[in-house]
Amino acid sequence: MSAVAVLVADGFETIECLTVVDVLRRGGVRVDLVSIMTTRDAVSSQQIDITCDYTMTEVDFADYDYVVLPGGMPGTLHLRQDPRVCDVVEEFATTKHVAAICAAPSILGDLGLLVGRRATCFPDFEDHLPAGTFAGKKTVITDGNIITASGMGQALPFALAILGDIAGEQAVAKVRDSIQL
């Protein structure tokens, strides 16, 4: 069974982060919140405190098939500025799977991981994407092993796209029915 690491930094967007965790766990997928900070505690951009399952130093990323980057400010900036995060994202984009939402696809663009692909992001972050990459507003885009979404309003479709990629359409249908979507 696939496992997912959701990378968390202070200033993350609450709904973009926790919707992925909720949907994947409902779908039977192992998903861990992984703090990039020195403690497991994190504070969202809406000042909501959470306790992550692990810190980055406590996990072996070989145990995961997916890494998810929630957006939010300044959370996205914290993720981008951490060289460990950049290393993990580059490895997963090359050999596994990456999903990023809102401002976080800018990290993929900055690292040169979206060349020749289609992606989306929050408005005003398109300049981080290579020319010809931007695939539209208010959407979720899957291009090979990379999934991107434009913002908080797309958090549920984003999470369902990740679930579908990992566990298939039957798992997505089960979760959709259980949440009355």
Catalytically annotated residues? 102
Question: Which strands sit side by side in the sheet containing 97-101, from one edge to the other?
Answer: 54-55, 30-35, 3-8, 66-69, 97-101, 146-149, 140-143
Say which residues have a Cβ less than 8 Å from residue 58's Cβ, sequence separation at least 6.
none
**Long-range contact set of residues 124-130: C-beta below 8 Å, sequence gap at least 24:** 129/105
Q: Half-sphere exposure of residue 130, counting CA atoms within 13 Å on the CB side?
A: 11
> CA 87 to CA 138: how far, in whole Å?
29
What is the phi/psi pair of residue 164, to 5°? -60, -40
For residue 83, whether the previous peptide bond is cis, meaning omega lies within 30 degrees of 0, is no
